[in-house]
Amino acid sequence: MTAPPLRSQAATLSYDKRVIVEDLTFDIPAGSFTAIIGPNACGKSTLLRAMAGLLAPAAGQMILDGKGIASLAPREIAQRLGLLPQTAIAPEGITVAELVARGRYVHQRLLRQWSAEDRQAVDDALRLTNVTELADRRVEHLSGGQRQRVWIAMVLAQQTPLILLDEPTTYLDIAHQMDVLNLLHELNAAGRTIVAVLHDLNHAARYASHIIAMKAGKVLAAGSPAQVITAATVSAVFGLETEVIPDPVTGNPMVVPHDTRA
Amino acid sequence: MKLENRLRTGPTPSLLVIGHDRTNILLDRRAAVVAASAGILVIILMILAVLLGDFPLTISEVMDVFLGRGEALVRTVVLEWRLPRAMAAVLFGAALAVSGALFQTITRNPLASPDIMGLANGSYSGMILALVFLGGSWPMLVTGSLAGGLAAAAIIYLLALRDGLQGFRFIMVGIGVSAMLASLNTWLLLRVDLDVALLASAWGAGTLNSITPATLIPTGFSIMMLLCLVPAVSAPLRQLSLGDDAAASTGAAIGPARLAAIVIAIGLVSAVTAVSGPIAFIALSAPQITRRLAGTAEIPLGATGVVGGLMLLVSDLVAQHVIPLTLPVGVVTVVSGGLYLVWLLVREARRTT
């Protein structure tokens, strides 16, 4: 078993002295597809920012490949992990290939702005995400599903072993949600460790190999889908009574809320 | 074959790779064409600027001056008056345009620029205070306006700083500080003696009338030094347009890059304002005009500099020769820039409705 590439050691995260996440300890298992689940505003995005080294913990630390992330330069972090935040903006008029090439920043220098490796990495990322045909299109002219694939391609072009994604399926219709999750599954099967904040418990149960369930800045449960997705945990995390039954398609746990209509 | 090795395309066909695989830079074709065309126009207009005026010169007379010959009067007209003024217009225009481009890039907002955000008003306050309390000597005025610009920037920075620099907050605080400084300036002008107020008002419109080799050389040198630093921050600034978190996670050191860009931008605008007074709207409009001409996703910094130089040179030629009475160049840029601002606001309003 390889050492976890990323671990949170008693990390406390806060904005303006307002504590969002307190004393959080967990590991991201190597090679896993880890889903972080929890109610709105429970600190999931904050946690992801801290895991990517964008927010320094007020106490405790994030450990990336055995080193405190605070001691690493932005370039050193960017060689190890890529992040797709929800706040990413596509500049007006940028083409797909140009945006994907922005993921190559860490591999470029002032006087080496484009190399054969850059071209190869961008081509590979476009192909893996199935957007090669869109390469010269403008990003603002794409559909939501295509755009999300392009953003994932940008993070892929960075060629990091670890990829973090903040709600990559939000605002997509169900077909495109499946599409993005299948893509993440393929990337995971090809050897990348994936960490994604997911809203849909059934997606997490089907696709993730490891689930971290958070509530109000604390981890309530972590483990395999069978361990975490139980009626008791869902009730504790979301305050919602549910039945958990085997997914008729895959056999993974599946959450069906009780009928709470008056 | 060899040419193909040297001229390959980057991520998109519009980007040319110049150099070898291990050592190269990327150049946007259309931005390069815009820069080259503006550069040619600058050269033609500079020649015109030297020839035109109440004392018209011929090309051969001017050539004589550069060959070290010619009458003393012609030498004075060319070397002391017209050439320094034309060079100042180009350099100052470039400095203002790049300064605006840096502000607009770090705030991701086309309305951000040092003139709208109060730096020029701060310089002006500093200059009036220097005029009143330290006497009107040139070094004192320059020192006063530099100090004023930096003080305004420091106030905006401190008021806007929270969890790093938020783009919109930075602009809003800047507009507020700008309005307060404008009132301060009006109040100061009402309190001082009439002759001091007249001198200060002339400078307050933004003018190249007082350019001499003695003022141009130190200012021009500082501007060129600052412009040389711009390529070092342009790559992380380009990443910044993806949003702060996305930019940082691709490995860009966004905090240091942003701070460096602000310092360079303030240095550029203060250097210009100290000598010529606040010249409005070049910093606001040149970056957006250049970006639209070049059709690039971000503001092309190099081409913006050339276009800014061209804009101020044209404005100064209009101020001197086209309109029957001689106006400060700032008046011309305010009028043309005002039209641009109206267009920009109408366009933004149309897009959001």
B25 CA to chain A: closest CA distance, Å? Answer: 5
User: Residue A140: closest CA among chain B residues belongs to which residue?
Assistant: B297
Chain-centre distance of CA B72, in angstroms? 34
Cα dist from A133 to A95, A97, A129, whole Å: 12, 10, 11
Chain B closest-CA separation from residue A207 CA (Å): 25
Average pLDDT value for chain A? 94
Burial label, B342 (beta-carbon count in 10 A; 0-12, 13-18, 19+)? exposed
Q: Which residue in A38, A34, A33 sits closest to A199, CA to CA?
A: A38
Task: Give the model's pLDDT for residue B105.
Answer: 92
Cα gap B202→B195, rounded to integer Å? 11
Q: Going from the first residue of chain B to its last (353 residues), give the mean pLDDT of each consecutive group of 10, the final group possibly shorter.
A: 59 87 89 97 96 89 88 91 96 97 90 84 87 79 84 86 66 87 89 81 82 91 95 93 94 92 89 87 92 91 97 94 82 84 75 59
Chain B contact for A103, CB < 8 A? yes
CA B47 – CA B34 distance, rounded (Å): 20
- The shortest CB-CB distance from A113 to any of B25, B239, B241 is to B25
Q: Which residues of B are less than 8 Å from A110 in CB distance?
A: 231-232, 235
Question: Could you tell me if B294 and B32 are in contact, meaning their C-beta atoms sit under 8 angstroms apart?
Answer: no
Distance from CA of B352 to the nearest CA of A (A): 15
Chain A residues in contact with B27 (beta carbon < 8 A): none
Q: From CA A69, how far away is CA A53, in angstroms rounded? A: 6
Report the chain B residue with the minimal C-alpha distance to residue A157. Answer: B250
Measured between CA atoms, the residue of chain A closest to residue B105 is: A91
Best mutation site among B249, B347, B351, B352 for testing chain A: the one with the most A CBs within 10 Å?
B249
Q: How far, in Å, CA of B188 to CA of B133, rounded?
A: 12
A258, pLDDT greater than 50: yes
Q: How far apart are the first and last CA of chain A?
A: 50
pLDDT at residue B2, as a whole number: 46
CB B334 within 8 A of CB B123: no
Q: CA–CA separation, A172 vs A165, rounded Å?
A: 15
The minimal CB distance from A105 to the residues B12, B239, B244 is found for B239
> Does the pLDDT of residue A260 top 60, yes or no?
yes
Q: Is A93 on the interface with B (CB under 8 A)?
A: yes
CA distances from A97 to A10, A138, B7, B55, B299 (A): 40, 9, 19, 56, 18
φ, ψ for residue A112, nearest 5 deg: -145, 80
Report the candidate in A9, A32, A63 with the shortest Cα–Cα distance to residue A223.
A32
3-state secondary structure of A27: strand
Task: Please indicate whether, in this complex, the C-beta atoms of B245 and A87 are within 8 angstroms of each other.
Answer: yes
Residue A33 CB burial class (10 angstroms; 0-12, 13-18, ≥19): buried
Backbone angles phi, psi at A23, to 5 degrees: 50, 55
d(CA B243, CA A54) in angstroms, rounded, equals 13
Q: CB within 8 A of A259, min separation 6: which ones?
A: none
- Residue A59's region, left for phi above 0, alpha for psi from -120 to 50, else beta, is beta
> Confidence band (pLDDT; 50, 70, 90) for A236?
very high
Distance of CA B201 to the CA centre of its chain: 21
- Contact list in A for residue B24 (CB cut-off 8 A) is 111-115
Looking at beta carbons, which residues of chain A come within 8 Å of B300? none
DSSP letters spanning B305-338 = HHHHHHHHHHHHHIIIIISSS---HHHHHHHHHH
* Domains (range + CATH), chain B: 88-352 (1.10.3470.10)
Residue (of B96, B107, B104) closest to B311 by Cα position: B96
Which of A80-84, A90-94, A202-206, B45-49 comes out lowest in average pLDDT?
Answer: A90-94
Q: How far apart are CA B106 and CA B165, in angstroms?
A: 9
Torsion sign, CA atoms B213, B215, B216, B218 = positive
Contact B282, B208 (CB under 8 A): no
Q: Do A92 and B13 touch (CB under 8 A)?
A: no
pLDDT digits (tens, 9 = 90+) for A146-190: 999 999 999 999 999 999 999 999 889 999 999 999 999 999 999
Provide φ and ψ at A99, rounded to 5°.
Answer: -65, -45
Question: Beta strands B15-19 and B24-28: pairing type?
Answer: antiparallel
Q: Name the token pair of A10.
A: 């008693």
Q: How far is A58 from chain B (nearest CA, A)?
A: 14
Within 8 A of B10 by CB-CB distance, chain A residues are 101, 113-114
Instruction: Say if residues B2 and B11 touch (Cβ distance below 8 Å).
Output: no
CB-nearest partner of A49 from B21, B245, B253: B245
pLDDT greater than 90 at residue A36:
yes
User: In the numeric block, which tokens belong to residue B250?
Assistant: 């691709």
Per-residue model confidence (pLDDT) at position B247: 96
Q: Residue A250: is its pLDDT beyond 50?
A: yes
Contact B282, B337 (CB under 8 A): yes
Q: Is A79 within 8 Å of B11 when comparing Cβ atoms? A: no
ipTM of the complex, rounded to two decimals? 0.93
CB contact under 8 A, A111 and B232: no
